[in-house]
Amino acid sequence: MAESALVLTEIRDDGVAVIRLNRPEALNALNLALRKALADEFAALHDDPAVRCIVLTGNEAAFAAGADLKEFVDEGPVEIMRRRSERYWNTVAATPQPVIAAINGYAMGGGLELAMACDLIVIGETAQIGQPEIKVGIMPGAGGTQRLTRAVGKFNAMKLCLTGKPISGIEAHAMGLASDVVPDSDVLPIALKQAATIARMPRFAAQIIKESIVQGANASLDAALALERRSFQLLFATEDKTEGMTAFIEKRRPDFSGS
113 part of the active site? yes
What contacts 207, CB < 8 A, 6 or more positions away? 96, 97, 98
CA angle 154, 105, 55 (to 5 degrees): 85
Q: Check if 133 is active-site.
A: yes
Q: In the sheet that 128-130 helps form, which strands lie side by side, from edge to edge?
A: 62-64, 106-108, 128-130, 167-168
Which of 67, 172, 178, 205 is flagged as catalytic? Answer: 67
Contacts of 175 (CB under 8 A, 6+ apart): 152, 153, 156, 167
Q: Which amino acid, one-letter code, is at 177?
A: L
- Please pick, among 37, 113, 115, 171, the residue that the annotation labels catalytic: 113
Burial of 188 (0-12, 13-18, 19+ CB in 10 A): buried
67 has catalytic annotation = yes
Residues in the chain: 259
Q: Of these residues, 133, 157, 169, 206, which one is catalytic?
A: 133
Choose, from 58, 66, 105, 110, the residue flagged as catalytic. 110
Residues identified as active-site: 67, 110, 113, 133
